[in-house]
Structure 1
């Protein structure tokens, strides 16, 4: 009889990631024809036309392995970000990069500091390698960098800072980061996860690339999944000094970034007007949703990302279910420990309007 003794004990600590429900699954389950998904922080505008064109062209070449060194995207991105090509690493989404970081640096019982409420994959990556999570509560829904610095011990190996933070949309400022880094030993790695970097318009937000010259222990993660709208292709990248990149590259699988993703990412970097349009759409959508939440008397966190954490002041599970039965998929925050909150992705104007209309009806029932 097979039991849990056959698996690594670290596996038993892992809780599988719970993604937002896919549109097709909701259609099947509830027999719906039309479904709007505002759950997974995807760009509702979709990929740039140039990226779609390159994907179609690349489809004719998928019988051939992709460039394992990601040469042309590496060139293009290095020039755009302002780093050397050797300071970049690419992954099958940022999730793979998180796994690579864990495999490279986390040893059994090594301590990893994370915020109390943040992206769950940090916990997953740490647990799978037998590391020890040190969870520091948020302060005013944002990372408490002073408390995180105070939590550092001789066993600390990594610190994850999600900026903007998922699911709160809050940021840590340059001033806060400057003070924090002064307290971090050189042998403790600080990972800034900046998945929503392109959406940030707060002037206090730190440009972390500028820290690399004087801080060899910093790793920056970014992605093409959000503002660039390539979530389905799975492509993210890391920025760090060459020594760290070389270490991480040793555990990277060959051909981990597919051909179509590489071509689409290059085209997306060139499509600056489409990115600007995506950011503008997100900003106007946030303003509309803020106004409507104010009218409904709902508290929410102003966000530096493309999602909003909303306090319903009541159990959110039934609201989530009611909205889904009406063809609106949002994110129930129970798994984050917020029983009375939902997270909603900013959609197209018409999607935002439908969401608000249905939310009003649900709350008035």
Structure 2
């Protein structure tokens, strides 16, 4: 059998639809526990990198999943009837205003595919979710990054950017913001939405809303038909492994999104699990309280270690590694933590090379983090 030759002459003349796709780098996920175990032989691993719920998920979810195991040969309900009904009740919207997705990232892709083209501009903030500039490149659109203000969104500058770029089609706003944890006030957001043309879609990414209920901007949907709110079951609800999210919008926007999305983009297991998770708001309250308590404890520990941090309204905290020794950097601290079985998220890819993003865990995990971090800093100093 003749082996194929790996020469350019044998390559098909394939080119991407847009040159900007060539500039894309694959999305870097948080390091899996299994990968760390393979690399360093560490069996007792604490993962505080991907903003997952350290309490897991509601016990009602397990029962709902079990009930679906005998039906895995059947396609899911492509319309997600029961989950949509539950979401409509919780969010006080019509079912026709809801679009389901394979996680919130799926919905962001659907939004960009539905509304942005190569002649359009997409606006987002510096130090915001790294998916936003990726979406612009995927669509061949012009990505416009607005400098952050105190690590958060500068809405006045973003409004001016919309005015300066009449081809703007979409604006992405994460609230609370990932990875910085900053929060925008209702009045600020409403003023921003009111300032832009109705032809510009304002996408509010509320992935962490359950940890910060005061960030809920559902009321904007009643006033502005160009607002889209995207949420997920991957964070507080603890269903990151199942991939399910949803968008709330005007009926015309939802109608377009549902034309674009894949017909079975949410599995039957995920649909059942999400409905069960949504019904257990006591678990969400428990998760929020654990997050608040452990956030305060970690802030005190970082203060004691002389490490700066940004006040966060989500389930993670961004910590600055700024020590007066050349060999101590965020990268070196990250590596040392990995070698001792603690996974956090470096932020060099966000343009924040001196910072680490740390998910808020349960007390035991957080104590392990601080003890390990203290040991590393003490040894290096």
- Normalised to the residue count of structure 2, the TM-score between the two structures is 0.93
Distance in structure 2 (CA, Å) of the matches to 1:60 and 1:157: 45
Large movers: runs of 4+ above 6 Å:
none
The yes-or-no answer on 1:15 pairing with 2:11 is no
Distance in structure 2 (CA, Å) of the matches to 1:4 and 1:96: 30
Distance in structure 2 (CA, Å) of the matches to 1:109 and 1:289: 46
> 1:333 and 1:4, CA in 2 relative to 1: closer, same or farther beyond 3 A?
farther
Q: Which residue of 2 aligns with 1:278?
A: 287
- Superposition pairs of residues 105-144 of structure 1, within 5 angstroms: 105-144=115-154
Q: Which residue of 2 aligns with 1:46?
A: 56
Shift of 1:7: 2.6
The yes-or-no answer on 1:211 pairing with 2:220 is yes
Matched position secondary structure for 2:122:
strand
Shift of 1:269: 1.1
Q: Alpha-carbon deviations, 1:178-199, whole Å to 9, x = none?
A: 2212211010000000000000
Distance in structure 2 (CA, Å) of the matches to 1:287 and 1:56: 37
Find 2:263's aligned residue among 238, 243, 254.
Answer: 254
Distance in structure 1 (CA, Å) of the matches to 2:346 and 2:315: 16
Name stretches of at least 5 consecutive residues in structure 1 with no aligned partner: none
The yes-or-no answer on 1:357 pairing with 2:371 is yes
The yes-or-no answer on 1:265 pairing with 2:274 is yes
Q: Which residue of 2 aligns with 1:339?
A: 353
Distance in structure 1 (CA, Å) of the matches to 2:169 and 2:38: 45
Name stretches of at least 5 consecutive residues in structure 2 with no aligned partner: 1-6, 324-328
- Superposition pairs of residues 100-249 of structure 1, within 5 angstroms: 100-152=110-162, 153-200=165-212, 203=214, 205=215, 207-249=216-258
Distance in structure 2 (CA, Å) of the matches to 1:7 and 1:347: 44
Q: Alpha-carbon deviations, 1:142-181, whole Å to 9, x = none?
A: 1000000000121000000000000000011112112212
Matched position secondary structure for 1:233:
coil
Distance in structure 1 (CA, Å) of the matches to 2:170 and 2:12: 29
Shift of 1:117: 1.1
Q: Alpha-carbon deviations, 1:6-62, whole Å to 9, x = none?
A: 231232021111011000000011111111100000001001000011111112211
Instruction: Look at both structures and tell me which one has the larger radius of gyration over its CA atoms.
Output: 2
State whether residues 190 and 220 of structure 2, in contact with CA within 8 Å, keep that contact through their aligned partners in structure 1: no
Distance in structure 1 (CA, Å) of the matches to 2:15 and 2:365: 45
Distance in structure 1 (CA, Å) of the matches to 2:126 and 2:313: 19
Distance in structure 2 (CA, Å) of the matches to 1:35 and 1:7: 42
Shift of 1:4: 9.7
State whether residues 99 and 247 of structure 2, in contact with CA within 8 Å, keep that contact through their aligned partners in structure 1: yes
Matched position secondary structure for 1:165:
coil
Q: Which residue of 2 aligns with 1:306?
A: 315
- Normalised to the residue count of structure 1, the TM-score between the two structures is 0.97
Distance in structure 1 (CA, Å) of the matches to 2:313 and 2:226: 26
Distance in structure 2 (CA, Å) of the matches to 1:89 and 1:178: 23
Root mean square deviation, CA, Å: 1.2
Distance in structure 2 (CA, Å) of the matches to 1:5 and 1:245: 38
Distance in structure 1 (CA, Å) of the matches to 2:317 and 2:71: 40
Q: How many residues align?
A: 362
